[in-house]
Amino acid sequence: MNVGVIGAGYVGLVTGACFAEFGVNVTCIDTNEGRITLLQKGVVPFYEPGLEELIRKNVNEGRLQFSNNTAESVKKSDVIFIAVGTPSLEDGSADLSYVDSVARTIAENLNGYKVIVTKSTVPVGTGERVRNIIQDIRNDGDFDIVSNPEFLREGSAIGDFMRPDRIVIGSGSERATSVMRDLYRPLYLIETPFITTDVETAEMIKYASNVFLAAKISFINEMANLCEKVGANVQVVSKAMGLDKRIGPKFLHAGPGYGGSCFPKDVRALLQIAESHGYDFKIARSVIEVNITQKDRMITKIEHALRGAGGKTIGILGLSFKPNTNDIRESPAVHIIEGLLDIGANIRVYDPVAMEDTKSVLGQRVTYCSDAYDTATNADAIILVTEWNQFRNLELERLKGLLKHPVFIDLRNVYEPDRMRKSGFDYYSVGRS
C-alpha cells in the first residue's frame, strides 16, 4: 500500500514516519520547498522526541520519502491523508483554505480509486465539503472520504501513535473502512480499540475530546484560585479527585493556563460551530474566559510577590507551552513575559529547546540565557513557568546565591512549599499556601 501525507508539519510528519515504521510506503508532501529539502537531509523543523531518529531510520530503509510534487504523489498513492493547518480565523472558526486547496489538487489528479482521509482537526461537515469540491471537478472520480482524527500530544507523539487509546474511523463506505483497518493492522496486535462511525461523528469526537480536556484544566485552575482564598491545597484536592475513576488524574494540574496549537484553537472552533447552528455553548465560552484570566492572574501574582514588577529583573524558566516541545504558540510563558514587559520589568529567559522560536516573537526585548543559573544571576525573582525535567531538581543553594532576592515563583507546583521556605526562599505557587 502506498500512502501520501499532504502537509509535512507536526501531524503530517509524525503520521508519515509512524506509518512507515508500520511497513507502509509513505510520501510526505509539502509545497514548502525549503522544508522538504531539510527533511530530505534528515533535519526535522521542530522538536519532537524521537521523531528525527524515526524519520532517518525509515528513509534509510526506503519506506519514507519527501516531495513537493503534490500531483505526482496523489497519482501514486492509494490512501491520501490531508494533514494541513486549520488555523483560527478572527471569528474563531477554522480556516479551511488549505484543506480546500488540497481537495482541488487531489481532484485534478485522480487516476483510480483513492481513500481520502482528513487527519487535520476540522469542523463537522468538512468531509462532505471535500467530497463536493472533488465531485465538482471530477464527477466521475472513484474515491471515498474518511475522517481519522489524530490524538497526538506534543512531546509524546510517537508513543501516542504507536500505542493509542483508540483509533477513530469515520466513513460511509465499507470499502474505505476495510482499507483503513488494513493500514492500522499492527495495532490489532496490541488490542487497540477501534471506533467505526460516520464521518460527521468522527469529526465531532476530536473537538469533544480536546474541549473536555481544556475544561478540566480550566476547572482545576479555578479550584486553585479558590484554594488560595480559603487556605486549601489544590494539589491534594486534585490528587483526591483523580483517584475517582469517574474523573481520572490527568489534566488536573493547576498552573498558568493551557496553550499550544490545539486546545485554544479547538475550543474557539467548537464555540463557533455551536454559534453557527444557533446554540450557545456556555461551557466552551467559560473555558476560554477562565484560561485567559488565569494567565493574567499569574502576572498579578508576580507583581504581588515582588511588590511591583516595574524596573525589576525577573528570570523565566521555560518558554514552550509544555515540556518536550519547542512550540510557543499561545504559551502562558510568552503571555506572562509580554505582560511583565508592558509594566517595565527586565526579563531574562531560558528554555532547553524553544529559545530560537521565542526570538521570532520577543526579539531582543528579553535577555536569552545559557541555563537556569545564568537566568537567575542578579535577578529579583526566578519564575518556573514550564516544568521541564531539568528544572525539577535545581541546586537550590546555588540558585539562591545567584539571585538578588530569594524569590521563587513556581507556577507549576514542582517544589514543596515547606522545603523551599526552609531553604530560605520567599516561595509562591498556584493554589497552595
What cell numbers appear for 408 in the block? 521563587
Active site residue 262: yes
Q: Exactly one of 18, 28, 262, 369 is catalytic; which is it? A: 262
Residue from 323, 352, 355 nearest 255 by CA: 323
CA 268, 121, 295, 356 torsion-angle sign:
negative
Q: Is 242 exposed, middle or buried (0-12, 13-18, 19+ CB in 10 A)?
A: middle
Rounded CA separation 205/207 (Å): 6
**DSSP state at residue 31:** S
Rounded CA separation 241/245 (Å): 9
- 398's CB contacts (< 8 A; 6+ apart) are 373
- Residue carrying the nine cell digits 519532537: 48
As a whole number of Å, the end-to-end CA separation of the chain is 58
DSSP helix/strand/coil, 176: helix
Q: How far is CA 391 from the centre of its chain?
A: 21
Rounded CA separation 176/168 (Å): 13
- 372-233-429 Cα angle (round to 5): 25
- Residue carrying the nine cell digits 508532501: 29
DSSP helix/strand/coil, 316: strand
The number of residues making up the chain comes to 433
Rounded CA separation 428/187 (Å): 45
What cell numbers appear for 398 in the block? 546555588
**What amino acid positions are annotated as catalytic residues?**
262
